[in-house]
Structure 1
Amino acid sequence: MLSHNLGYPRIGSRRELKRASEKFWSGKIDREELQKVARKIRHENWETQRAAGIGLIPSNDFSLYDQVLDMSLTVGAIPERYHQLIDGKSNKELDLYYAMARGYQRGGLDLNAMEMTKWFDTNYHYLVPEFVKNQQFRIYSEKVFLEFEDALQKGILTKPVLLGPVTYLLLGKEKEEGFEKIDLLENLLPVYTSILKELYSRGAQWVQLDEPALVLDLTEKQKHAYEIAYATIRKSVPKLKILVATYFGALEDNLPTAAKLPVDALHIDLTRGESSLSALLKHEDFAHSTRQLSLGVVDGRNIWKNNYRKSLDFISQAIHVLGEDRLMIAPSSSLLHSPCDLDFEQDEIILTPEIKNWMSFAKQKLAEVVEICRLAGTDLLLDDAFIENQNAIESRRESPLIHKPHVKTRLTAVKEADLNRQNNFEIRQQIQLEKLKLPLFPSTTIGSFPQTDEVRLLRANLKKNELTLEQYEVRIREEIVSSLRWQEELGIDVLVHGEFERNDMVEYFGERLSGFAFTQNGWVQSYGSRCVKPPVIYGDVERPEPMTVKWSAFAQANSQKLVKGMLTGPVTILQWSFVRDDQPRKDTAFQIGLAIRDEVVDLEKAGIRVIQIDEPAIREGLPLRKTNWSAYLKWAVDAFRLSAAGVADQTQIHTHMCYSEFNDIIDSIAAMDADVITIETSRSQMELLDAFASFSYPNEIGPGVYDIHSPRVPTVDEMVLLLEKALKVIPARNLWVNPDCGLKTRKWPETEAALRNMISAANLLREGVK
């Protein structure tokens, strides 16, 4: 059996790429220094995998920002607005690259960034390719060749990784009418075949083409596109070994298509789609061929130690039909979604040895892959590594740290009535109009303000005991009051306290809930330089004491205006954590929902009349197959309603969602019954509102009027135009004015300028409807 890896984290074990990227964007280092850091990370990743004993090591899995953006640049799918940045100079390619990712304001040019959305059902974001009718493609970037050659110079013959042609097209968006993006395959394939021919000529033996779209619902036309694509590829490079990688789910009805592809190996994810194995082994076209089968047995998306017995059972099934020589062993997906190295977790107060013993990060997952290969066919009962693994699995299953009977009892007592507000929205809206006295087109922000170096230093010094808790809280109160005064001066209608005391919108709450563990260096990439350190939900969840009431009450006491209480919702806490896998996700979500409900009730008692429960992850939690949507949406919506329904009608409940396509789940969004929903619409130029209009969404909406993920400051006219678009589909009394997400990652100068323009836009809109 051959071991291999689909991809490795690219942020660096100490987030070196994040720091270098942000220094480059701020002009503190030049492109040569940035590339030096990137090259060092790539080399370390390759050496780590070689040292672990991985047989096929990937290249081109590294990215400075996003692998889908890399593919767009590789095949020359560069939207027309960026063409003025193309001058044929290789040292300008980086300017173009970051302009597409982050927008561009320089030398009289003002270019919007490309749209960003979630990568399948993960918390990673990718840059959405933009396609026009008769789109032409060409090899523009040589990144894949350069990184393959770079590894060769290190003595490592890698397996270059490319996003497969069909998935690449399906991930994109048509930017004009009159064509289907899949019809561009005919134009795209010559570029792919040229890339593969060039890789073969440079010595590549294997190439991995990622086709995760094979686990989605596909039309017959899209399935046929796979047949065309891989027949063309096979004919063009008959001697190059092609591995098609699927992941994040089971092949199901796409299995016949995948099984017949004329490739050398097919990868399947057995952590989220184990039914694919038995189906493939029964499929005569595959079972009786010479194609290899790659078994993704080590979970690339979670942090729990692999159960060797279960993995070896899969391998035994496959060996029985295919034989050992036709098998490859790998993680289920790229390890992009895993933290880098558990060895960096040395603080036993933060992560206890007992819980750490249940865990495995990217580096350790490599060792698991290699160990599983070795264990196949051995006498397991005499193998120390196998015995040690099974002892760890059993200790987790039996640990009293995990199970709390009173939490389980409260969960089983939840009734339908606990999910409902006192009255419907129409009645609540009238009560809130009278009680809150907000103007037409009320303005607010999503919650967080820029986390400056000074604010981060406060938290760091508190952790190092260089500040007392009292000294720390004095400084945080100063930051809150300062931000309140600034918001009042600006004219924002519903204020926020800025969240200066919070590190991360999920981690902050996880630290205050039982059943959560934390890491020092368990960082994963969310997008670009944005990294998150997800909490680990290992056991039953409850709220020992209030989590936000003190700070929200302090803020409200220091302003005559309304100040929102800010919470993260149960589904988002679930989605953005590493979740226990020993009970249904629904049960864990409801446990969190009950904890948030307690906080909502306490905020209301403390005089907070507007409470926001953020749920940006509702959409990303959708199962990849529509047949499984209804069950998920029922418990996800119910978990939110459970968290929100404990307050009186006059308390206004907000929720926030970002980078979501709502068309196909709009009825479930409405069923959440939030009084106000704020959403991202700026990058899509309000396209997302079409779903709310056609559905006649009854509640209030705040469509984001500017993109906080880009440093560019939009003009007042731009925002007015977006709001006027919104007014065509949203009644004026239901329209809010706000940015499209929190402002934590932005700098103060751009934040102040953008919010001033936003308030000016809101005022102009009010004048226009008088």
Structure 2
Amino acid sequence: MQPNPIRTTVIGSYPFPGWLEFASQNLDQFGQADIEEMIEDAVVAAVHDQTTAGLDVITDGEQTRLDFNLSFYGYIKGLQPNHSETRKFGPPAHDQRGKHSIVEELTAPKGLGAVREFERLKKLAPAGPTLKASIPGPYTLSGRMLPNERYKDRYDITEALLPFVRKELEDLVAAGCTEITVDEPSMSCYAYKEDTKRFVDIFNRTVAPVVGKCRLSTHLCFGNFKGRPVGYRKIHPMLPDFLDLAVDEVHVEMANREFDEIELIAEFAQKMDVAVGIIDVKNYYIETVKDVIERIERCLKYIPAEKLAVAPDCGLSQTARWAARQKLTNMVAGAKKVRLG
């Protein structure tokens, strides 16, 4: 059970400052020392916004990740960009994200970079909030890799990536990380048509070495590339199998779905804490404190306060920073009012 009732948390990502967006498109003009300085400054900005809002749990805002999956691909040997497989024109959507061909055995000799991110966060964050690391699970991580003769399908690729993620989780715990989210939105997106028991087996084998050694959560959403969903946006196909996920907390997307299936959080609450997405990261309507209070009270009809956390639906990287900042501030203010009765 979580340490505080109605804990306020985030998923992982946070908007880049505008200058980092520019710099990331012109990296050839910067030296390595310049780049490291920019990254630290960006993490400081992300931490500042989160701590100013008053969150109980913060992250580094994933300020080193230019793409949810593809940034990790830079750590994996055996991949080659395959631009011919990617749609380049038309409305922005998930199929415009880059794909990669597998050209040799997949290896990750230097890990996946999450430990270095966490060490930087420890150095730059103030005392007080819980520091959380996040990393994609192997099924989600496999999503932009193309099968070949060696890796016949997505599940073969997933099995090749699983040891990399598992080792990164072990190394995060060894580095002192006490809270980790394993992001598996691909599992929630495809639960309606894939074998959910197989998903649970993959997930539980991935996290097995760190179960009980940190507060472990998983993030299940329906996609947010360029502010757009990609999956079938229903929770019921995940049940009952996802109740067997070896986690302390599950995050579910609710605000963007108008709290459809909110009653199903009661089923999750029998096995784990639930972080409910009560802030819509795809909408530029700024939820008021009153909105937040009403949404939390709605959740409390199905779950006790000591098992409830509140968060945005997804990471905030696709939301403008000014909006993200105000949304978080109002979320925390509303949660505090409900706690105080």
Q: TM-score, normalised by structure 2?
A: 0.87
Query: 2:187 matched to 1:618?
Result: yes
Map of 1:474 onto structure 2: 37
Map of 1:490 onto structure 2: 53
Q: 1:611 Cα deviation (Å)?
A: 0.9
Q: Aligned in 2, Cα 1:694/1:489: closer, same or farther, shift over 3 Å?
A: closer
Q: Aligned in 2, Cα 1:524/1:705: closer, same or farther, shift over 3 Å?
A: farther
CA distance in 2, matches of 1:688, 1:680: 10
Q: Aligned in 2, Cα 1:695/1:476: closer, same or farther, shift over 3 Å?
A: closer
Map of 1:568 onto structure 2: 136
Q: Deviations over 1:214-244 (max 9, x none)?
A: xxxxxxxxxxxxxxxxxxxxxxxxxxxxxxx
CA distance in 1, matches of 2:206, 2:256: 30
CA distance in 2, matches of 1:520, 1:664: 33
Query: 2:117 matched to 1:554?
Result: no
Pick the aligned partner of 2:164 from 566, 570, 595. 595
CA distance in 2, matches of 1:648, 1:680: 24
Map of 2:265 onto structure 1: 692
**AA of the residue aligned to 1:479:** A
Q: Deviations over 1:689-746 (max 9, x none)?
A: 3223256541011111121111221111112111111111112111001000111111
Q: 1:571 Cα deviation (Å)?
A: 1.2
Pick the aligned partner of 2:22 from 451, 457, 461. 457
Q: Aligned in 2, Cα 1:521/1:606: closer, same or farther, shift over 3 Å?
A: farther
Q: Which has the larger radius of gyration?
A: 1
CA contact (8 A) 1:686 1:703 kept: no
User: Residues 442-453 of structure 1 correspond to what in structure 2 (within 5 A)?
Assistant: 442-453=7-18
Q: Aligned in 2, Cα 1:571/1:488: closer, same or farther, shift over 3 Å?
A: same
Q: Aligned in 2, Cα 1:703/1:489: closer, same or farther, shift over 3 Å?
A: same
Map of 1:578 onto structure 2: 146
Aligned length, in residue pairs: 325
CA distance in 2, matches of 1:511, 1:521: 19
CA distance in 2, matches of 1:516, 1:564: 29
CA distance in 2, matches of 1:675, 1:590: 24
Q: Aligned in 2, Cα 1:537/1:646: closer, same or farther, shift over 3 Å?
A: farther
Query: 2:98 matched to 1:534?
Result: yes
Q: 1:530 Cα deviation (Å)?
A: 4.4
Q: 1:577 Cα deviation (Å)?
A: 3.8
CA distance in 1, matches of 2:78, 2:279: 37
Query: 2:178 matched to 1:609?
Result: yes
> Which structure exhibits the higher relative contact order, with contacts defined as CA atoms closer than 8 Å and separated by 6 or more residues?
2
Q: 1:540 Cα deviation (Å)?
A: 3.6
Q: 1:480 Cα deviation (Å)?
A: 0.7
Map of 1:652 onto structure 2: 215
CA distance in 2, matches of 1:522, 1:491: 43
- Helix, strand or coil for the counterpart of 1:564? strand
- Helix, strand or coil for the counterpart of 2:212? coil
CA contact (8 A) 2:216 2:248 kept: yes
Q: Aligned in 2, Cα 1:522/1:711: closer, same or farther, shift over 3 Å?
A: farther
Q: 1:521 Cα deviation (Å)?
A: 7.7
CA distance in 1, matches of 2:160, 2:316: 29
Map of 1:714 onto structure 2: 287
CA distance in 2, matches of 1:528, 1:756: 32
Pick the aligned partner of 2:245 from 666, 672, 683. 672
CA distance in 1, matches of 2:269, 2:202: 24
CA contact (8 A) 1:556 1:608 kept: no
Query: 2:108 matched to 1:543?
Result: yes
User: Residues 410-429 of structure 1 correspond to what in structure 2 (within 5 A)?
Assistant: 429=1
CA distance in 1, matches of 2:156, 2:178: 29
Q: Aligned in 2, Cα 1:537/1:676: closer, same or farther, shift over 3 Å?
A: farther
**AA of the residue aligned to 1:673:** A
Pick the aligned partner of 2:306 from 721, 733, 736. 733
CA contact (8 A) 2:143 2:154 kept: no
Map of 1:295 onto structure 2: none
Q: 1:688 Cα deviation (Å)?
A: 2.7
- Helix, strand or coil for the counterpart of 1:683? helix
CA distance in 2, matches of 1:524, 1:657: 26
CA contact (8 A) 2:9 2:311 kept: yes
Q: TM-score, normalised by structure 1?
A: 0.40
**AA of the residue aligned to 2:248:** D
CA contact (8 A) 1:479 1:500 kept: yes
Map of 2:198 onto structure 1: 635
**AA of the residue aligned to 2:169:** V
Map of 1:95 onto structure 2: none
RMSD: 2.4
Q: 1:648 Cα deviation (Å)?
A: 5.2
Q: Aligned in 2, Cα 1:688/1:676: closer, same or farther, shift over 3 Å?
A: same
Q: 1:749 Cα deviation (Å)?
A: 1.2
- Helix, strand or coil for the counterpart of 1:551? helix
**AA of the residue aligned to 1:644:** V
Q: Aligned in 2, Cα 1:590/1:634: closer, same or farther, shift over 3 Å?
A: farther
Q: Aligned in 2, Cα 1:568/1:747: closer, same or farther, shift over 3 Å?
A: same
CA distance in 1, matches of 2:101, 2:247: 26
Q: Deviations over 1:78-109 (max 9, x none)?
A: xxxxxxxxxxxxxxxxxxxxxxxxxxxxxxxx
Q: 1:537 Cα deviation (Å)?
A: 4.8
Q: Deviations over 1:109-139 (max 9, x none)?
A: xxxxxxxxxxxxxxxxxxxxxxxxxxxxxxx
**AA of the residue aligned to 1:536:** H
Q: Deviations over 1:126-167 (max 9, x none)?
A: xxxxxxxxxxxxxxxxxxxxxxxxxxxxxxxxxxxxxxxxxx
Q: 1:665 Cα deviation (Å)?
A: 2.2
CA distance in 2, matches of 1:502, 1:477: 13
CA distance in 1, matches of 2:244, 2:134: 21
- Helix, strand or coil for the counterpart of 1:730? coil
Q: Deviations over 1:30-64 (max 9, x none)?
A: xxxxxxxxxxxxxxxxxxxxxxxxxxxxxxxxxxx
- Helix, strand or coil for the counterpart of 1:737? strand
Q: Aligned in 2, Cα 1:623/1:733: closer, same or farther, shift over 3 Å?
A: closer
CA contact (8 A) 2:86 2:99 kept: no
CA contact (8 A) 1:543 1:595 kept: yes
Q: Deviations over 1:590-615 (max 9, x none)?
A: 22111100111111111111111101
CA distance in 1, matches of 2:236, 2:46: 36
CA contact (8 A) 1:686 1:726 kept: no
**AA of the residue aligned to 1:740:** D
Q: Aligned in 2, Cα 1:759/1:530: closer, same or farther, shift over 3 Å?
A: farther
CA contact (8 A) 2:17 2:42 kept: no
**AA of the residue aligned to 1:572:** T
Q: 1:664 Cα deviation (Å)?
A: 2.7
Map of 1:512 onto structure 2: 75
Query: 2:5 matched to 1:440?
Result: yes
Q: Deviations over 1:446-489 (max 9, x none)?
A: 11111344212222222x2x111121011110111222133222
- Helix, strand or coil for the counterpart of 2:197? helix
Q: Aligned in 2, Cα 1:698/1:491: closer, same or farther, shift over 3 Å?
A: same
Q: 1:680 Cα deviation (Å)?
A: 0.9
Map of 1:762 onto structure 2: 335
Map of 2:226 onto structure 1: none
Q: Aligned in 2, Cα 1:671/1:568: closer, same or farther, shift over 3 Å?
A: same
